[in-house]
Amino acid sequence: MTDWPSAERPPADPGADNRVRLGFERQSVTVRIDQIVPLKTLREGVRESRKYAQIVSSIKAIGLVEAPAVIPNPKNPEQYFLLDGHLRIEVLKQLRIETVECLVANDDETYTYNKRVNRLPPIQEHRMIVRAIERGVTEAVIADALGLEVGSIRARFRLLDGICEETADMLKDTNCSMRVFDMLRRMSPMRQIEAADLMIGQNNYSLIFARALLAATPDDQLAAPAKKARKNDLTGPTSQQISRMERELATLQTQVKSVEDSYGIDNLHLTFARGYVAKLLSNARVVRWLSNHRQEYLAEFQRIAEIETIGSMTAPAPQE
């Protein structure tokens, strides 16, 4: 990045508009539902989905939280095209609500805005529920707003019971399921931190992986001493298997970090190589020579040139 001295800094183009353009109008508008034209058709059975039921419960309990995004129809001032909020509009129609407050977009962006929004991680959801309860909101009201059972709200409220602060801070932006935290709270605080570091390093927050980490945890690193298995109980892992799992996990973590260090430059080199091969195959004389003298090379080169991304490359089919 060049640091221009104040005397040498190039002047701004006087004819250019250097202001940041707003994506939406500053003021929302109230629109009749029958004035809104959806830009896509909802898939069959969407009214039976859990997400749809949650939106219905939320609107009934506290009203519409997120305003739909629309853009005026340039050919009909009485119409608006719906850019985002198709499920919400469908729910409003079902509830026979006639008007809705909408955000007016300045650009005709037909993608779903929610795809650009990070979903709320469980720990952040837990903190919001805790804050709401501290401010006097009852569990029943929260359950109605989120479309959940009261017992589920209580479980989310107790999500971090037995979880040390360092582990909670490490996993605050991840989508660990509630059952993963059940596995973690059975470990000592230091072991929780180690397990969280392994999950982050592997980018694996599944319950199966959490169970494997719990099984590989020595008895002295458990929150409560494990009960000794009966002699005829052969379903649990043996001490030798647990020790081997620990060694393999440590080795795998080291290998993953090593690959991460070189992945970017390796991917760049492979991308340039693919582009160079594609350029060679655009030359008819090169293709003709390969076809006459090295047909096996031509087939492989064509396969490489057709790869859209390096990650989509698959192993070649076995020769018969």
Please tell me the distance from the alpha carbon of residue 126 to that of residue 271, in angstroms, as a whole number.
Answer: 43
The CATH fold of domain 29-115? 3.90.1530
> Residue 136 in 3-state DSSP?
coil
Q: Distance between CA atoms of 137 and 130, rounded to whole angstroms? A: 10
Looking at residue 241, what is its pLDDT?
A: 66
Residue 145, judged by CB atoms within 10 A of its CB (0-12, 13-18, 19+), counts as buried
pLDDT tens for the chain, 320 residues long, are 444 444 444 555 555 555 666 667 888 889 999 999 888 888 888 888 888 888 888 788 778 878 888 989 888 888 999 888 888 999 999 999 999 999 888 776 554 455 444 567 888 888 888 888 888 888 888 887 777 788 888 988 999 999 999 999 999 888 888 889 999 999 999 999 999 998 888 788 888 888 888 888 888 888 876 554 444 444 555 666 666 766 777 777 677 777 666 777 777 778 888 888 888 888 888 888 888 888 888 888 888 887 765 554 444 444 43
Sorted by where each begins, the domain ranges of the chain are 29-115, 118-159, 266-312
| pLDDT given at position 238 | 62
Give the model's pLDDT for residue 193.
92
Residues 231-253 as b/e (b if ≥16 CB within 10 A, e otherwise) read eeeeeeeeeeebeeeeeebeeee
DSSP tag of 78: E
CA 249, 254, 258, 264 torsion-angle sign: positive
Kindly state the DSSP code that residue 105 receives in the 8-state scheme: B
Sequence length of the chain is: 320
How would DSSP label each residue in 254-296? HHHHHHHHHHHHHHHHHHHHHHHHHHHHT-HHHHHHHHHH-HH
pLDDT of residue 11: 53
pLDDT score recorded for residue 6: 45
pLDDT attached to residue 114: 52
Q: What is the pLDDT of residue 181?
A: 93
Query: H or E element: which one contains 139?
Result: helix 139-146
